Amino acid sequence: MSISQVAKTISESATLALNAKAAILRAKGDPVIHLGGGEPKSKVPVDAILATAGLLNSAEIRYTPVDGTPEMKKAIIRYTEEHYDRSVEPENVIASGGAKQAIMVALQAVVSPQEEVIFPVPYWVSYPEMVKLCQGIPVPAAAEDGTFYPRLQDIEEKVGSYTKAIIINSPNNPCGAMYSEEFIADIVDFCEKRDLYLIMDDIYHRLIYDSLKPINCYKYAHDLSENSKLIVINGVSKQYAMTGYRVGWAVANKKLIEVMTNIQGHQTSGPSVLLQKGAVGAINGIQSGVENLRLTLENNRNIMIDRLNSFEGVKVTKPEGTFYCFPDFSAYNKDSTKLAEFLIDKVQVVTVPGVEFGMEGHLRLSFCGTIKEIQEGIERIKWALDLNSPSELYIGDRKLVRDWI
Ligand SMILES: Cc1ncc(COP(=O)(O)O)c(C=O)c1O
């Protein structure tokens, strides 16, 4: 089949593919435990439901302005004031089909063919593919010491004359690391000095633990004029458990927002009015659901880390945010794809191979499911890998016998 040069370079989203695989196994009746997921299980906030249903009942579901309804923009402006202590105007804001589209149109607006975009390792699976869709070059930057915490120097070493932008995602998918305030301050300052776009993917900024406080990148910007190249991304998917609403946004300088709007106008014409209505309901509504979710996730994290620490060879770094942890399983298998396949085949536990996030030997495990799923999932993984465990395991009334030693 004849397909475009760009399309040939794009691989399938590993995480979405695993979701599909888990759904097929479940439909067959297999007792699958999905530790690969990327969405909280809590209910959509009632304010969002009422707002969505109210509009739906009117039977008037129309096009909206490409960059978002006036009330959606107002809600984003209010959110930015409340969480970033920053006043922006409607022209500084675009609502998109999820944070994903907001990042994509931002990259399309700034990246020309062969220009480079840098992001720390491990990275969200979509960053390299999004950059490639712009015919740009993705440039992962690993921390020299092999940790999840790059220094400015690790990023700086990758910067060259083709560098156009840097993407920072903190707390980070897949490892849950929250970069230090000092690192954020340094990177903001560095991008200003080097005249680089800085895309701050803050989609998990309220889902952080151990009494940590969200870090506000604007605090460290010297230039907050319309020349600023700082782009802040957020959305309702994670904090309000509204992944299916597909509403996210970007806040940036007016010229850039205008360009992003032009691009989005020819792609999707912007997010659905119905779903923007729901997003506004969530942002302006009662916020206790966010704190409840945060507390639930913190407890889930503690349980998962506790269980993982009982593995002899597994190296775990405690996540400070998100709902993922990213243990190093290389003592068991250095090939994370093979390991993830082995775990699905042998004990029906879905994990995501670390290689998809730029770090081989690791697996991404989500703790956004139930405590039972976390406990049983880790128990099954341990049974499959730790040869000191008994040779039999019961999954419901099904007896598994370990025959791979
Ligand atoms: C780091 C990161 N950025 C952006 C997104 C996209 O979120 P949305 O559902 O708003 O498109 C995700 C979703 O998994 C993510 O993990």
The predicted pLDDT at position 405 comes to 66
Query: What is the distance in A from the centroid of ligand 1 to the CA of 246?
Result: 10
Which residue is closest in CA terms to ligand 1's atom 7? Answer: 99
pTM: 0.96
User: CB count, 10 Å around CB of 9?
Assistant: 12
For a substitution probing ligand 1, which of 13, 15, 16, 100 has the most ligand atoms within 8 Å of its CB?
Answer: 100
- Atom of ligand 1 at shortest range from CA of 97: 11
pLDDT mean over 353-359:
96
Cα angle: 361, vertex 38, 237; to 5 degrees: 145
The predicted pLDDT at position 312 comes to 86
SS3 content of the chain, % helix, strand, coil (to 5): 45, 15, 40
User: Any idea which residue has 């040869």 for tokens?
Assistant: 387
Using the predicted structure, report yes or no on whether residue 14 has a pLDDT greater than 80.
Answer: no
- How confident is the prediction for the chain on average, in pLDDT? 95
Q: Please provide residue 5's backbone torsions phi and psi, each rounded to the nearest 5 degrees.
A: -60, -45
Site residues for ligand 1, CB cut-off 6 Å: 38, 98-100, 124, 169, 173, 201, 203, 235, 237, 243, 248
- Atom of ligand 1 at shortest range from CA of 247: 10
Tokens matching residue 390: 């008994």
Alpha carbons 179 and 218: distance in angstroms, whole number? 15
The predicted pLDDT at position 24 comes to 87
The predicted pLDDT at position 168 comes to 98
pLDDT digits (tens, 9 = 90+) for 209-233: 999 999 999 999 999 999 999 999 9
User: CB count, 10 Å around CB of 397?
Assistant: 5
Report, at the CATH architecture level, how domain 47-284 is classified: 3-Layer(aba) Sandwich (3.40)
User: Any idea which residue has 């491990």 for tokens?
Assistant: 122
pLDDT digits (tens, 9 = 90+) for 20-54: 777 888 888 889 999 998 899 999 999 999 999 99
- pLDDT over 70, % of the chain: 100
pLDDT mean over 134-155:
97
Using the predicted structure, report yes or no on whether residue 242 has a pLDDT greater than 90.
Answer: yes
Alpha carbons 213 and 395: distance in angstroms, whole number? 40
Query: What is the distance in A from the centroid of ligand 1 to the CA of 248?
Result: 9
- Atom of ligand 1 at shortest range from CA of 103: 4
The predicted pLDDT at position 307 comes to 95
The predicted pLDDT at position 30 comes to 86
- pLDDT over 90, % of the chain: 86
For a substitution probing ligand 1, which of 127, 130, 173 has the most ligand atoms within 8 Å of its CB?
Answer: 173
Q: Residue 16: helix, strand or coil by DSSP?
A: helix
The predicted pLDDT at position 95 comes to 98
Give the DSSP H/E element, type plus range, for residue 235.
strand 230-235
Query: What is the distance in A from the centroid of ligand 1 to the CA of 216?
Result: 19
CATH of domain 5-43+288-401: 3.90.1150.10
Question: Residues of CATH 3.90.1150.10 domain(s) within the chain?
Answer: 5-43+288-401
Give the DSSP H/E element, type plus range, for residue 192.
helix 181-194
Query: What is the distance in A from the centroid of ligand 1 to the CA of 145?
Result: 27
The predicted pLDDT at position 21 comes to 78
The predicted pLDDT at position 249 comes to 98
Alpha carbons 87 and 72: distance in angstroms, whole number? 15
Alpha carbons 292 and 235: distance in angstroms, whole number? 18
pLDDT mean over 88-101:
98
State how far the alpha carbon of 249 is from the alpha carbons of 143, 175, 201, in Å: 29, 23, 10
Using the predicted structure, report yes or no on whether residue 16 has a pLDDT greater than 80.
Answer: no
Question: Residues of CATH 3.40.640.10 domain(s) within the chain?
Answer: 47-284
The string of DSSP codes covering 238-258 is TTTT-GGG-EEEEE--HHHHH
Query: What is the distance in A from the centroid of ligand 1 to the CA of 223?
Result: 27
- Atom of ligand 1 at shortest range from CA of 243: 9
Nearest Cα to Cα of residue 257 among 226, 217, 222: 226
**Residues whose CB is less than 8 angstroms from the CB of residue 184 and which lie 6 or more positions away in sequence, other chains included:** 168, 170, 215, 217, 220
Query: What is the distance in A from the centroid of ligand 1 to the CA of 100?
Result: 6
